Structure 1
Amino acid sequence: MMGRTHLALGAVAGVQLAAQTPGLGLPIMAAALFGAILPDVDTPYSKLGRRLWPLSRLVLQVFGHRGGTHSAAFVLLATALMWLVSPPVALALGAGILTHLAADAISYGHGTRFTARGAGVPLLWPLSDRKTGLRLVKVNGALENLVILPWMALYAAQIGWALI
C-alpha cells in the first residue's frame, strides 16, 4: 500500500485507541500514525525512508523490502521498547504497525520498488522468510485509491470528530 493509505489505516487505529484513553489522545495518535509508516523504513522510497535515507538504505541492504521490519518480531520489539516509556502509547505504536502489516499482507506491486519476492509479509521472520498473504489489492491501484483510502480516512475523521 502507499504511505497515505498506511496513514489512513493508522489513523483509524489511533482514534479508536484515543477514544479509550482520555488525556493521551495526541501521543496515542502520533504513535499509531508513526507505527503505520515505520515498517517501510526498509525502503528509501517510502515517506519515512526519504527522511531517514541513510538508515533506510542500510535497513534495505540488510533486510530487503518487506523483510524483517514487516514481521511479528518487529512488532513485539518496537512495542516492548515503547512499553518502557508508556504502555498506552506502546499499544498504539503496535496497533499502527499491525495495520501496516495487514495492509501489506493483502497488497502486491511491480517494478523496482518491489522485489521479486512477491506479495505478503514474513510474519515468522527470522525463523522463516516465507511470506504470508494474499494478492488482493494492487499497490496504488483503483481498489486502494478509490475504496480503501477514502473510506478509512472518512471513518477516522468521523471518529476523531466525535472525540473533539
Structure 2
Amino acid sequence: MMGRTHLALGAVAGVHLAALSPRMGLPIMAAALIGAILPDVDTPYSKLGRRLWPLSTLVLWIFGHRGGTHSAVFLVIVTALMWMVSAPVALALGAGIATHLAADAISFGHGTRFTARGAGVPLWWPLAERKSGLRLVKVNGPLENLVILPWATLYAAQLGWRLL
C-alpha cells in the first residue's frame, strides 16, 4: 500500500486506542501513525525512508523491501522496546505496525521493488522467508485509492471527532 493509506489505517487504530486512554491521546495517535509507516524504513522510496535515507538504504541492503521489517519478529521487538517506556504508547506503536503488515499482506505491486520479494509479507521471518498474504489490492490501484483510503480516512476522522 501507499504511505498515505498506511497512515489512514494507522489513524483508525490510533483513534480506537486513544478513546481507551484519552489522557494519552496525542502520544497514542503519534505512535500509531509512526508505527503505520515504520516497516517501510526498509526502502528509500517510502515516506519515512526518504527522510532517513542513509538508514533506509542500509536496511534495504540488509533485508530487502518487505523483508525483516515486515515480520512478526519486528513487531514484537519494537513493541517490547517501547513497552519499557510506556505500555499504552507501545500498544499503539504495535497496532500501527500491525495495520501496516496486514495491509501489505493483501497488496501487490509491479516493478523492481516487488519482483525481488513479491506480494505479501514474510510474517515468520527469520524462521521462514515464505510470504504470507493474498494478492487482493494493487498498490496505488483503484481499490486502494477509491475504497480503502477514503473509508479509513473518513472513519478515523469521524471517530476522532467524537474524542474532541
Rounded to whole Å, the distance in 2 between the matches of 1:25 and 1:143 is 30
Aligned pairs for 1:1-164 within 5 A? 1-164=1-164
Rounded to whole Å, the distance in 1 between the matches of 2:116 and 2:57 is 18
How far did 1:112 drift? 2.3
For 2:39, the aligned partner's letter is P
Rounded to whole Å, the distance in 2 between the matches of 1:103 and 1:87 is 24
State how many pairs are aligned: 164
Aligned residue for 2:115, secondary structure, equals coil
- Structure 2: state its 5+ residue gaps: none
Residues 36 and 97, structure 2, Cα contact 8 Å, conserved in 1: yes
Residues 120 and 134, structure 1, Cα contact 8 Å, conserved in 2: yes
How far did 1:115 drift? 3.1
Percent sequence identity over matched residues?
A: 83
RMSD of the TM alignment (CA)?
Answer: 0.6
How far did 1:118 drift? 1.3
For 2:80, the aligned partner's letter is A
How far did 1:113 drift? 2.6
TM-score, L = length of structure 2 = 0.99
TM-score, L = length of structure 1 = 0.99
How far did 1:22 drift? 1.7
Aligned residue for 1:82, secondary structure, equals helix
Moved more, 84-93 or 107-116: 107-116
Aligned residue for 1:7, secondary structure, equals helix
